[in-house]
A and B are shown apart, each in its own frame.
Chain A
C-alpha cells in the first residue's frame, strides 16, 4: 500500500509521461487523461496491484476503461508497473505499436477490452462481473466511464441491468469533468441530477473529489463492504488537471500540445513535483 502522498507524486509523474506521449504522437486526448489519472493510479497501485506476474491471473481485479480515448493515462500506469515498456508508451499511436490510439484488446490484452466507441465498456464490465459470480471468484471489476459517454443509451441499459444481477463486485467510476467535445455537459445534454437517478436505479451511489486520494480510498473501501448492489462513484474532476492552461479548456479535449505548450506543461508539472516532494524529503 502506498501512502497518499506517494500516490499523488506518482500520479503527477505520470502526468508528465502522458503529456510526453501525446506530444510525441502529435495527437491524442490530454484533457480526459489528466482528469482520470489520479483515480487510475489509486486503483492500480493500491487495489488492483497489477504486476507482470499476475497480469492474466483469473482471480485478478479488472479495470475497464470505457472512455477509451483516455488511454494514455492507462498506458502510463501500465508502463510504470512494468507491463509495457516505457518506449512503448512513447510510441503511442505509432504504426505497429501495441499502444494504439484507443485500447485494443487484440494488441494489448492488459486493457481487458477494446474500447473507444463510447458507451460499450460498462456492459462488458457487467459481463465480467457476472462471470465472477458464476465462477465464485472474489475479484472486483472497476469500470471508468466519461460524463459525455454517459449520454449514450447503452450506458443506461447497463445501469438498469447491473442492480438486477446484484453485482456487488462492480464499481463504476464516473470521471465527471463536466465537459465533452462540443461544450459543457450541462449545455450539450445535461445529466443531472445524477445522484438521484442512480439511486432510483438501485445503485450504491457515492460522490467524491476525484483528485483527493483520501476520498478515492474511502469510496473504494465502502464499495468493497456493500453487499448485493453495485457501486457508482461520481468523481468530480477537472479536465486537464495539473496543467494550468489545459484545465477546464475544451480545446485540449483532443489536441496535442505544441512545442511551446509542451515545454510550459513540463515546467509546471516538474515545479509542482519539486516543491511538494523534494522539499518534503529534504
Chain B
C-alpha cells in the first residue's frame, strides 16, 4: 500500500516550499489531518493557522493570491466547499490564484460519518467558472499534480483521500493537466474512474479478466476541464460507458462524462457513486461494499450491464 494522497500533498508542498518562496499554506485546525503540518514545521513564517474559520481562511487566501502569493488553503473537502459563496466570489469571480485542498474525500473516510465526508464537493466546485477540479489517484500522481499546480493560472480545487491508496505510477510519471490516463487495457467495456475508485476499477479489471471480459480503465485526474476527446473516442468504441467515483452521482465525474456524451455522442452512461443519499458511519470497507464501490461490486455492475 502506498500513501494517502493527503500525505503525498503535505510532503510535496513542504519540498516545493524550499524552491518557491511565494508558496504559503493555510489551515483551519486540521493541519494534522490535511498534513499541512509538515509545511508548518519547516516554514512557520509562511504557514497561517486560522483556527476553525474556513470562510475567513478562504478570503485571506484570495487576498494573498491577489498579492502574488501562491496559497494552498487546506481543510476537509466538506467544510471548505461548504463555504461556497466565499469561494464563488472571493476566489472564483475574483480569479484569485488559490489552490483549495479538500481532504477526506468520500465515504472512504469511514466512521466519522456524513458530516465529515466530502460528498458533493466536486459537484459544487465544478460549477464555478474559472475553477479547475483535480483528483489524483496515487502518491506519485499527487506529487506531480501539486508540482504542476504551482505554475497553473487560475483557481484550482484539489481533492484528496484520507485513506492510503496503492501506487500505480512509476517515478517518471508525467502529469498532463486535462488528460485522462489509461491505466488498464480491455476490449469489452470501459470505465472512467477518479481518485480511490481507480483502484476498485483496477480490481474489477482483474476479476473480469478471469472471466475473459476485458475492462479498460481510464483514470480521470482532471475532472474539469475534462478530456472530451478521450471520452467521445471511447464511447464510439464501446457504445456504453461506466463511471466510478467516491462522491455523489449528481454533479461529479459521472455527470461530467454524461454532459460530454449527451452533447457530442449520445451514449448510455452507468454511474457508480452515491445515489442521492448522504453517507453514514461504518468502516470504510463496509461502506464500500454497501454502496457497491468495491472491486467485486464494480465487476458485478459491469457484468450485469454488458
Contact = CB atoms under 8 A, between A and B. Distances in A.
Contacts of A163: none
Contact of A117 (B30, B50, B82, B110): B82
Interface residues of A, number: 33
A203 to B, nearest CB: 21
Given A95-B280, A153-B56, A102 B112 contact: yes
Interface string B276-294: 0010111100110010000
A26 B286 CA distance: 15
B282 A93 contact: yes
Contacts of A25: 111
Contact of A93 (B30, B79, B115, B281): B281
Contacts of A119: 52
Contact of B50 (A100, A104, A189): A189
A185 B49 CA distance: 11
Contacts of A161: none
Interface in B48-94: 49-53, 55-56, 78-79, 82
Interface in A42-56: none
Interface stretch (A144-152, A166-174, A210-218): A144-152
B112 A189 contact: no
B78 A117 contact: yes
Contacts of B287: 95
Nearest to B37: A182
B52 A180 contact: yes
A192 to B, nearest CB: 13
Contacts of B33: 181
B27 interface: yes
Given A97-B281, A117-B82, A118-B52, A181 B30 contact: yes
B61 to A, nearest CB: 15
B32 interface: yes
A4 interface: no
Contacts of B281: 93-95, 97, 100-101
B258 interface: no
Contacts of A117: 78-79, 82, 115
Nearest to B115: A116
A148 B283 CA distance: 27
Listed residue (B37, B51, B55, B287) with the most chain A CB atoms within 10 angstroms of its CB: B51
Contact of A180 (B29, B55, B115): B29
Nearest to A26: B111
